[in-house]
Amino acid sequence: MKRLFILNALLLLVLPLCIGQVKIDSSEISSDVPALTAFHEVIYPMWHEAYPAKDIQALKNLVPEIKNKMSAVNKATLPGILHEKETDWKNQLAKLNASAENYYKASEQQNQQALLDAAEDLHRNYEMMIRVIRPALQVIDNYHQSLYIIFHKLYPSKDYASIAGLMDGMIQKAEAIVNYPHDDRLKRRLDNDFTEFDAARKNLYDATVALKEKLAGTDNTAKDEAVLTMHKAYQRLDGLF
């Protein structure tokens, strides 16, 4: 887990500053909230060291750092690409705050089990926070980065030429989604929605190809409809997760 967070941090440093001809701050298309990532610095020793050892004093000693990390998370803002996650983020943040408050109260009591239970609850809600912002799959996140630029940067100004310049790359990214294997991890994550996955990703691919075709024509209304159809197809696929 620790290595995963380090890898994510390194990836942020190499994210492109442009897609096609569109320049953009790499942080705007990164599915990362630095304050939440930094919270792992206290979650790790709490959950992997103090908790399994039932080291009550160590759990109590972590309270100041947990409060500090919670303060930073409460002040954090989501990057542009995660704007659709805002409601889920706020709902889960309320649960994280509640579990943190329970942890503080338990640390002042003499009930050791209460503090262990509070640590378990805090860890669970932290993991749920990560799940809110974590991309469904890397191939879907790659597609979403380009879609974000199209839908939020180019489409509002009807810059069809720039959108057209991104479409070959969009189709390649859609193909990567279509070709993503049916592994056990995917089946576990989708659960009952797994049977809808193939249809949803094929629909996204078809909508992406259709947009490229419409952009080659002169009917701007058809272009607009194709952009909206592609965006809805992405939302349908992402919504399965």
pLDDT, tens digit, 9 for 90 and up, residues 39-83: 999 999 999 999 999 999 999 999 999 999 999 999 999 999 998
Q: What is the DSSP letter of 47?
A: I
Distance of CA 39 to the CA centre of its chain: 16
* Mean pLDDT calculated for residue range 85-95: 96
Which of 231, 186, 187, 237 is CA-nearest to residue 207? 231
pLDDT score at 125: 96
How many Å apart are CA 167 and CA 209, to the nearest integer?
Answer: 8
pTM of the shown model? 0.73
pLDDT at 183 over 90: no
Span between the terminal Cα atoms of the chain, in Å: 21
- What are residue 23's DSSP bridge partners? 18
Show the tokens assigned to 11.
């990836």
Q: Return the half-sphere exposure (C-beta side, CA atoms, 13 A cut-off) of residue 3.
A: 0
pLDDT score at 18: 53
How many Å apart are CA 20 and CA 31, to the nearest integer?
Answer: 20
Indicate the length of the chain as a whole number: 241
Would you tell me how many other CB atoms lie within 10 Å of the CB of residue 142? Answer: 18
